[in-house]
Structure 1
Amino acid sequence: MKQALTLVGVFVGSALLLALMPPSVAPKPMKLVKVWETDTTLRIPESVLYDGKNTIYVSNIDGKPDGLDGSGFISKVSLDGKIENLHWTSGLNAPKGMGIYKKRLYVTDMYRLVCINTDNGQAEKTWDGVGKDAFLNDVTVASDGTVYVSDNRNDKIYRLKDDKLDVWMEGEQLNKPNGLLAVGKDKLMIGSTKIGALQVVDVETKTITKVADGMAATDGIVPEGKGTFFVSDWNGQIFHVNADGTKEQLLDTRSNKINSADIDYVSKKKLLIVPTFYKNSLVAYRVE
């Protein structure tokens, strides 16, 4: 009987502790709070890239998205949204994605990849052996300096290594690759616009694994933390994707016909920078 009473006491005590414990609190939903917006002197800004210091590079198409007109240019914008140099580099063809490694800024230029010296804004070299029907879109640079470039129109990913630009992957399994993000030197994230998915490629085996889908015209991909990402849908949505593939929508400007193209994230300020494409501005949101 004494042992039975002891067990009853344990159960009663446990129930009392559970009753006194505060209810579990669900994680606070992430949200975006607008901080600033540039003026509208930009011209169809497609991509933004933070240099890790004080500058945001902006690629301006300034014409048709597939135009070979030489009217495209790169701008420099400060972290508080001031356009410091509108035409820092000019004479490009519908420039889109950008990647940076040391003092070299790599920019897609329709059927060419252009390397710009960040000290003076001068184009140092171009690679154009991909064919005039190419639609080069995004650029990312792995930790070892290897450059990857997507061809959204032709289901190809090019790789610049040892100063040679060659096809690295191709085929329908890429599902119209747009955004790219190198994770270290072993993984490559891909935004596949045809299926609205974020996918990951093992660089060594070229095995593709789907991470998340349901994101329409996937465009920019930027890391938020360990295994978490911000992904933009060109039509006007921003998503936060967790490591387990779950996602939440943070922004939807489709009803206002405001696009969200190739984004970037300034982690030290928790700023998400969004190019609005046809609205000719950048909008910065604080992630809370």
Structure 2
Amino acid sequence: MKKITSFIVLITCLITVGYAQNKSIEKLWETTQDIHVPESVLYNESTDKLYVSMIGKDGTDKGEIAILNTDGTVQNAHWVTGLNAPKGLAIHKGLLYIADVTKVIVVDIVTANIVDEIVIEGSTFLNDVTVDDTGIVYISDTRDNKIYQLRNGKVSLYLENVPSVNGLKYHNGALLALAGKEFWSIDRNKNVTVFTKGFEQGGDGLEPLKVGGFIVTCWPGLIYHVTATGEIHKIQDVQGKMNTADLGYNPKESVIYIPTFNNNSVIAYKLK
């Protein structure tokens, strides 16, 4: 009887692990009104709102940040205006950091005022941004294969030769980076570990999941679930139909938010 019970427990565990490792998604809603070339979505747990960077129809000097409610309705389509081509977003202590071509724009979330604009000399295509627990900001420059660091108001080159680096996320003491078709983990001493690789396209967005593992998007239309051990599972392929840019994640509801870029919408999916 003990052997049979142990066998049942083992099978149950295997089924549970397998289920946890193979995610699927279910569409909840899609917002199209007043959304023009959305590149990044960021969920703010403290306000329960979504911040969306929009490159705009021209992609040059009409960039904006919009605020959405978590049901997909637009709260403010023009919350911050006058930007260029805003992309990655990060929040730390009431400030929103925005990667905007060759600048980092800093916005006070309460007032929506731009409180700082930091030019990163020599940069050409700032793409994503993340902030560590101490307030140090990291910014990727995709075209120049570099990661910059903003610390105490001063910019420095943090790491170079990071091929096509895009998505960044500070997580559990490490800087995570999507470097082309690879997923890197960079420790405090700048030692690089290739956590996993094998995405069909270059990575764009990266979010750690509450239950472990990660969701990774690739701009041409791919969404992946990456397990805590680095196994890659493709959960959506809409290449040729729409883009899947820099996603947002709501850990309370297990919902991801996908900016579709050229399709001019944000789509919410329930992770299952």
Same fold (TM over 0.5): yes
**1:19 CA displacement:** 11
Partner residue, 1:109: 100
The question of 1:200 aligning with 2:185 is answered yes
Whichever structure has more strand as a proportion of its residues is 2
Partner residue, 1:4: none
Aligned equivalent of 1:188, options 151, 171, 175? 175
Cα distance between partner residues in 2 of 1:280 and 1:255: 15
Aligned equivalent of 1:276, options 250, 257, 260? 260
Partner residue, 1:287: 271
Q: Is the 8 A contact 1:106 1:116 kept in 2?
A: yes
Aligned equivalent of 1:62, options 56, 61, 64? 56
Aligned equivalent of 2:163, options 175, 182, 186? 175
4+ aligned runs moved over 2 Å, structure 1 = 17-29
Q: Is the 8 A contact 2:164 2:202 kept in 1?
A: no
**1:109 CA displacement:** 1.1
Change (3 A) 1:227 1:31: closer
Cα distance between partner residues in 2 of 1:142 and 1:282: 27
Residues 78-87 or 162-171, more deviating: 162-171
Partner residue, 2:79: 88
What does residue range 241-256 of structure 1 map to in structure 2 within 5 Å?
241-256=226-241
The percentage of counterpart residues that share the same residue type is: 33
Q: TM-score, normalised by structure 1?
A: 0.86
Can you list the C-alpha shifts for 1:198-230, whole angstroms capped at 9, x where unaligned? 111012x21111111122120111011365111
RMSD: 2.0
Q: Which has the larger radius of gyration?
A: 1
Partner residue, 2:11: 24
Change (3 A) 1:128 1:244: same
Cα distance between partner residues in 2 of 1:179 and 1:83: 25
Q: Which amino acid aligns with 1:86?
A: A
Change (3 A) 1:178 1:22: closer
Partner residue, 1:6: none
Consecutive unaligned residues in structure 1, runs of 5 or more: 1-12
Consecutive unaligned residues in structure 2, runs of 5 or more: none
The question of 1:143 aligning with 2:127 is answered no
Q: TM-score, normalised by structure 2?
A: 0.91
The question of 1:267 aligning with 2:251 is answered yes
